Amino acid sequence: MPGFSTPTAGTDAISLPADIAPNATCDVCRGGSTNPTISGVLFFLTGAYENIKPTGTYTHVALFALGMDIRDSDDIYVPQYAGGTKFTIAHIQRISRQTPADRLIAYLNRGTPPWPTNEL
């Protein structure tokens, strides 16, 4: 797929658009595996609680560098919080195509975090 580079793309701040200040790192896992395909990915994570509806949708939004090889149904683990928190990617979309802000946006569903937690 055009725009994808090495399996470690996104592990340094240089690969992110200038307007994204990463606030977390994650490990990307494929096919239900708990073995990371890519580790130490910098990204911006925020809650999207206004989008939680009885029919489902997503709980969080993440912004990634364009070169990231992330896919629908991948799992990402955010290790900053005790025990790590799992998110499943519901949908990936490229936004701001061919502008300096070109990036991937991932719509995520949070798994059950380890409790107690004040994070995420």
> Cβ atoms within 10 A of the Cβ of 108, count?
23
Give the distance, in angstroms, between the CA of residue 80 and the centroid of all CA atoms in the same chain: 14
Which structural domain, as residue segments, surrounds residue 35? 13-110
Identify whether 6 is part of a domain.
no
Residue 57 within any structural domain of the chain = yes
Q: What is the CATH number for 91?
A: 2.40.10
Q: How many domains does the chain have?
A: 1
Tokens of 6: 């090495």
Looking at residue 14, what is its pLDDT? 62
Tens digit of each residue's pLDDT, the chain (120 residues):
344 444 455 666 667 778 888 999 999 999 888 889 998 999 999 988 765 555 567 889 999 988 888 999 999 999 876 667 899 999 999 998 988 888 999 999 988 776 665 555
Q: What is the pTM of this model?
A: 0.79
* Confidence at residue 16, expressed as pLDDT on a 0 to 100 scale: 77
CA distance 106 to 53: 18
